[in-house]
Structure 1
Amino acid sequence: MTPPQPPRPATELFPDSLRLSPKQREVLAVLQEFPAGARAAEVAAKLGMHVNTARGHLEELLVQEAVRTVTAPAKGRGRPSLIFQVRVPDNRAVAHEYISLIEVLVSSLGDPDHPDAESLERARAIGKQWAQHMAVNGQNWTTLDDALEPLFQRLRDMGFDPSLNEDPADAAEGEHTADLSLYSCPFVAGNLRPSPFVCAIHEGFIRQVVGGNGPVRVDLKPFSEEGRCTVRLSEPETG
């Protein structure tokens, strides 16, 4: 017996996955202010536009599956009204949910206030497995220069806002060194720092991205300076 198909990926409903015009995004944003949905007339009143114009935009959103319709309870005679409901999730709420879940999961590795070396190494191993699962291994990258650009792009796409500083002043003699400053973190909530196990997982992830046990060494320095973390990449100079 064939098992039932799972629900569709939530990422397909993210606004970035939908081809929406600026006006459609505006209508969608207003509709999100109505948790139980709204009639076209209510959306039109919020936007100061004619109800037929609002209904036209809502119907376009319906075609793109960004909204759904339900029938309002009948009141008296006439055709029942349609209620338009948003299907697009709140990306911030989704991120917060999974960040909280990950923080709970990594707490099983040990006491985050007093992490020991063994627990941190287990966290790094999880990060390496994560990179392998995502098929972002850099095993064909044999030099620091090979690894820099793809690593920069990966960290940018993950939300770390990296900035590159090649050959920093405090680089060790005889090494080719580069620093990636990370100016944002998906796991920072307000002024709360993420668990050191989360940082160790990211360090293991980055190590695998640049080639696992290859010549490029990775050293993640959480909160190295005000408002940033630093990833130091280094390899012995040749010649």
Structure 2
Amino acid sequence: MENNDAGRRGPRPARTPSGRRLSPTRAALLETLQAQPEPTSLPALVKTTGLHDNTVREHLEGLRISGLVRRTKAPSSGRGRPRWLYEATPSSHEDPRPEYAALAAALATVIVRTSPEPAAEARRAGADWGRRLAAEAGPVEGPVEGPVEGHEGARRGVAEIFENMGFAPEADADVRELRLTRCPLLEAAHQEPDVVCSVHLGIAQGALERYDAPTDGLELLPFVEPGACLLRLGRP
């Protein structure tokens, strides 16, 4: 029996196709591509699934034949054959791609090209973004009678922000750790992990700051365990 989670490191994407008879592995690959704002390379897909590249290639070809995926050649970057890039076709989508993904991908590209300190700049930009998202979300819900309870409410607010962005976070009991089980920016994270992950870390930082919660101990561990990245929102 096929187990598409075996050996997987890093998050899965945000959507599950419905009404289609696909194996778990093939469905997971389609989900990944549906969640991306740009065509995705084979190495990025291999990294997130933990499968052999030949296995991923076989399933991608099956999805392409079914009309759910299309492939294009990447622009030539020197010697060797151009890479194939894969993307889900419009007919495969249940919902539009989140606007967040396209905005974050564009932001990461600009920062990489223009900043001498791209990771630091990405975190600052993410923090500005996080403060705006928290302000738009409004006051956090939950107990606010003391600092511990109030800070937990703030962490729950951060979890909700990441839920709305498509990361499908799974929180521990006191919301100090979030397992980010989906990724709407897989190719960008594969190509520029420091920048993309710094944007996400900054979003958490900015939201906590907006909620007047501490940010010490805040860290993001990308592709750290099977099926998820890990976002730590503070020390115990």
| TM-score bin, normalised by smaller chain | 0.3 to 0.5
Could you say which structure has the higher helix fraction?
A: 2
TM-score, normalization: structure 2?
Answer: 0.45
The structure with more radius of gyration: 1
TM-score, normalization: structure 1?
Answer: 0.44
